[in-house]
Structure 1
Amino acid sequence: MSGDTARTLLRDAGTTAAAAVATALGTLALVPVFTTGAWVPPVLAAVTAVAAAGLLLRVAAAALAGDRPAPDWWAALVRVAVPFGQLVVLACVLTALFAPDRAWGGWLPVDGSLGDLGAVLADGTVELREQSTPALPLTGLLALTTLMAGLVAVAVDLVAVGSRQPALAGLGLLVLFCVPVSTVIGSIGVLPVAAPSVGLALLLFADQHRQLSRRLQEGRRPLLGPGTLTAVRTGAAAVLLGLVVGALVPTLTEGARPFAFGRGGGGGSTGTALDPAAALQGQLTLDEPVELLQLDASVPDPGHLRVVALEVYDADAGWTVGNLDGQAAVADEAELATLPGRQGGRPVDALVTALGHEDRFLPLLYAPQSVDVADPEQWRFDPATGTVFGRDVSTAGQTWSVAAVEPRPTPEQLAASGELPPELPLVQRYTALPPLDPAVEELVGTLTADARTPYERVQAVYGHFTDPANDYRYSLSTAPGTGGDDLADFLRLRQGYCEQYAGAMAALVRAAGVPARVVLGYTPGTAQPDGSRLVTSNDAHAWVEVYFDDLGWVPYDPTPIDTDRAVELPWAPRAPDQELDPRTDPLPAPLPAPVPQAPQELPAPQELPAPQAAPQQGGTWVPALRTAGTVLAVLAVLAVAAVPAGLRVLQRRRRLATGSPAGLWDELAATALDLGRTADPARTPRQVAEQLAEAAAPGGGAHRPHRRPAAEAGVAGAVARLARAEEAASYARPGSVPAVGPELRADLATARRGLLAAAPRGARLRALLLPPSLLAGLRAGLPRPPRRPRPPHRTLLRG
């Protein structure tokens, strides 16, 4: 490989890295678009894979071209082949992450897997229309986002590296920046503006650095000249602009609205629906209750109607929905939510009719086994949370039936439930907490000081809220807190409504080391003369689910509500009734309660445990996502680390291909340099040969004393013959040097093996991963800038 080709590849490698990092920074504009950071691993995997594919393809193209000047048609072919290859790699990444089942090896797309991937992307387009922002990171939406980021990475790489216009490639970052601007209501914050600005600054610097490197090659300007300072100033201005404007830039009004309680809710929940991200107070304080559902159950006392589980807790944002897996349609599952091994249950069948209810979440009884609903392919089941949600469909005007098995554990079963391993993904996911107020931690420690089992700890926390001596009151009117922490304020003031009770208990149970989450839904409503039950907006409710080993999720309701609304839970006796008196407890202004969903850091979701086994990590797409992302990251690192070794191999082949003794001698000298053996340039080849023979002798490789004298003699003889051939070629007349024969090539192989065998292991590793001879060759090929002429000597004349 010629010096010009090596320099071009080196510049392209730097620009490729700059384009990839800039694109990755640009994707941070999507932070306010999603509720969690589940989109980050697949997006970074796609960007990394695209960059690695582009670099390797360009290195391969240069190796095929060799030292000969590449014709125009070859350069045009490379420009087309590189982005095409990147698109193929992107398709493999998408297949590995989102449709691996029928792919060859789990990553190579074939006919069946392409159809599966197309179905996932089609689901993403539906989710794109129905989701509000911040959106739930459903599988289809993640696949669509990964595809978009990958295409942007291909476009940025094509313009920055293929067309040699890094500054122009910054337009690709604008595509990513437009997503939050056009979908998020309110301010998008600093990071979504500052991060793409840093990416743009990096592309500007790469553009200026490429131009100055070319001028340096022509000997016209030093590398760090005025142009570089201009690029740095421009990039710094872009970053500063992002930091200043990021907190001020509003978003367009076309963005989807957050979910809202009460009539007229926007976004993904329209009409009268339960809001999975906002407080329940709006539903509970309607002037007139709204008839929502009619429930015909096979038992006179059905349990709660579950809607959605809130599993992410933040001190500022409160409880919000985590990731929902939208892969399985309710029609595809024989049994939706099977109870774990020792869990007892009561079979219940019910027919539910939506009266004034309109929501994309389907209210269901506990542990639904099957659901019969119109358009079953449009209703998806998330096994981790037991939630059924619609895809471009709502409950308005619908009737559905559900066959369920309500959990009925006995107190003895709960008491016998053991500790769960803390490293279990389910435990990590459902005990995650931000730093709590010291008063809250002290309260948990006091309550659970004498508890020996998870059940005792949970009962201690539950008893704290239900014991009349602790003076907790149900109220929609609460005094404003002064501590800046809603949880600590509620525990101090001891007055609130159901979501505050449930949220506080779930947080304290998590702090006690037991998995817990908040659930929104409805109590079963009021019995009607015809035997059915009427569920109204007054029945909107929040309660707690606690996970016990081999029993699964068990409901707890710490809120002291009216007997007619409450669900009897034998393992958790109900708190005393505290009905709300509108005359003495007037309706208040909205409380400082959980706000619309904000991006959260959440441990990756896992499926619930299989029956009759300890909870294990499920087979959802998230473990595959992690594994594929890790594999891609490792492959990308290995690919980048292998570039110097690959270039060194190409360099060796070029020298051997010359067929001259000088090429063999240069290769031997390069091997010695890679192993840390430098030679005085003033010495003759024979003197250098003697030095190399000593390096290969037992004294030069003291860690290999077992080498036989015959082997040492063979290495010394091979080095001596290479030196004599080099001297003969140096002093011979031009054109009279014979071609190198196989014997001399064998001598080179013998000499290299001897030097490698005598070198320490660390030196051999450095020679493989970062050969100094390669860098020395690149430096030698770079033109040196002309020296400045010395100023003429001036003599100071005195007179």
Structure 2
Amino acid sequence: MSRLRSVPAQRLPARAWSDIAVLSALSLLGVLGFETSFGDYNFLLAGLGGLLVGTGIAVLAYLLRLGTLVSVLAAVLAYFLLGTPFTMPQQGLLLLFPSLASSAGLALGAVFGWADIVTLGTPVEAPYYMPVLPYFAAWLIALVGTMLASRWLPLRPRTVWRSSALLAGPVLLYLAGILMGTDEAYYAGIRGVAFAVIALIWLGWRRSQLATADRVGSSRLLRRKLVGTGTLILGTVLIGALAGAALAPVQAQRFVLREEIQPPFDPLQFPSPLAGFRQYTKTLADTPLFTVEGLQTGQLLRLASMDSYDGKLWNVAGVAGVAGSEGGQAGFRLVGRTIPDPPLVTSVAFSTVTVTGSGYADVWLPGVGYPTTVDFDDSKSSAEAENLRYNAGTGTAVLTSGVKNGYTYTTRAAVQQSYKDEDLEKVPVATVSLPAAENIPDVVVAKATEYTGGADTPIDKLRAIQKALKTQGFLSHGLASDGIPSRAGHGADRIDELFTRSQMVGDQEQYAAAMALMARSLNYPARVVMGFAPAVPDGATSVEVTGSDVTAWVEVAFEGVGWVPFFPTPDQTDVPQDQTPKPKSVPQPQVRQPPRSDNQSDDLLTAVEIDDTKKDDKDKAFTLPGWAWALGGIVGIPMLLILGPVLVIGALKGRRRRRRRTRGSGDTRVAGAWDEVTDGYAELGFQVPRGTTRRLIATEVESQLVGQAGPATGDIRLMPLAELCDHAVFNGEQIDDELVERSWNEALDSLHRAETSVGRLRRLFSRFRIRSRRDWSRVDLSK
């Protein structure tokens, strides 16, 4: 077996190292712009990891003489294999190695992270794959920039525009940090000036060198260059700090994408919580819904705040904003553990409770006050935390996947400070933009005017409405044990009936809905809140909440105070009987009467029965266990990334060989044999000259082969094949198939012996290459 002389390792151009260093520094300045979105510095570790992986793979691929396609494939493989410890160590195996969850997160973050980050509440803590965004951005910029600095720029005259091409990636990364951040910039002046200074100095110093001068001339040029650099730095700082402030003053509000893109979540896709009020009082009255630990005596559990009324339902829409308040936030946003601060809340205390679900099954997340953090304790529930949406204006949290049996979460919340009526005498209602309350019955407007006739201030008018409803009305849930029927619902017809019947009869659903409409008719910002009011025994650490604890109340916003609660539901349940004497009638035979139909509408809201019966065994489909899916993902994804490119490149190389061997005239197919063998040697890492004769190419390649002949193989020679191809191409005679096969047999035999002699590593790399002939020696490493 013949031996091959080792090919010298390719060195990275000296000037490329400084280019890569500048590229990395500018990219790091761009990554720092993501600080306002993430809040802590976990993003910085991900960004640094992306820079290291992208730059390292690009440099290593150049040293190993890998082609562009193979380098990109190797970088993609390294992206998945090395990204877990930088982005999602908790999802990895032993915090370092990729798992199915971390591999999926690396793919999801690169694709969907750009859309998620502009719709999430800050700081961004969910979904779990969000740190992948700075990792992917830095990895891509570093990979492309390093490949340009090492492969493209050294082979061409160095001009300003060619050097500027390397700055495109860091500039895009810097802009991404601005557009995807928040109104508060992260050291914008310092980062901007540093970016400009580094970029301008690098562009000036990395231009093509002038003609060689003597020592005196070189010293003079160096002094001028240093003076020019100092002047450039001073001018950049002055222009950026002084002229920039005058020509482009700081705007009151920065342009960021999260303020321009509406959140995709729509609470109207779920039924109104208040529409199911009677389901709790009738169907679930004695059913344990959840257990609450840490609840204080008198505290209420908030379920949902409803601020939109269309004549049929009070529903959840969301506060559009608070005039003059920077804390106003609109709509439901995907949040992580940390919850955005609510507007219009004055709190002097915090409360921490732990809720464990049992019989409760809905999307609205119960809690106390206005939560600041939500921690899902169970590992299964932690995965569902990515579905948590929160409306900071209304204090309403939604778990879009639904709160399931066994879910446990701990919430720490700010509790609204309570005020006495005399403290609110001179306080006006707040200027809050709420959805319009439509189709308010006329009787509601009339009763609001009647009840508030002697009141002047907003608090006096609201207390007068509350007092009238509590003292003149009666409580009934429409149960069989109640003294008088009470129809469910709070649409315009039901509210009209509440006031037009001889006696006001209803429960929290009707009274809270009616008072909120009255307040709206007076142009007061009012909303209906539904929740639970369990009785907490003295000294109890936990309490079990059932459906009978459901309640509803009204909140009105006061300027500088917050949302003040009102409870208009009466406590009286015994409705007085009509005292008007009835005329005597002739006794009639007793006939069994049909049941009353007053409660028929209550049956409109019935519990949905889910058929849990199992299908026959013949309908069951075979499903793989979870460990099989996990093992398949851990092993299958890396194998696909490794074997997939090999199979594709192998198919392309096979197609290239068949076309050269079978298409065209005889002399063309003989020339194809020469092209095949020279391409094969180039793919094995040999220096194959270009633009010269076949004999010179054969001489150059043979000079790289050791002329020691083994007893079985003999010397590897290319000169006979070069002479054969030259004769076939230039003699002008018709070339028969026998000569074509002979040339191809010699070419493939030479290539096969070379492949078996270079060693396994170089032979493995050749499988990834698909190139035409290359001349590595033409690269000038001194530039």
Q: Same fold (TM over 0.5)?
A: no
- The two structures have a TM-score, normalised by structure 2, of 0.36
**Whose Rg is larger?**
2
- The two structures have a TM-score, normalised by structure 1, of 0.36
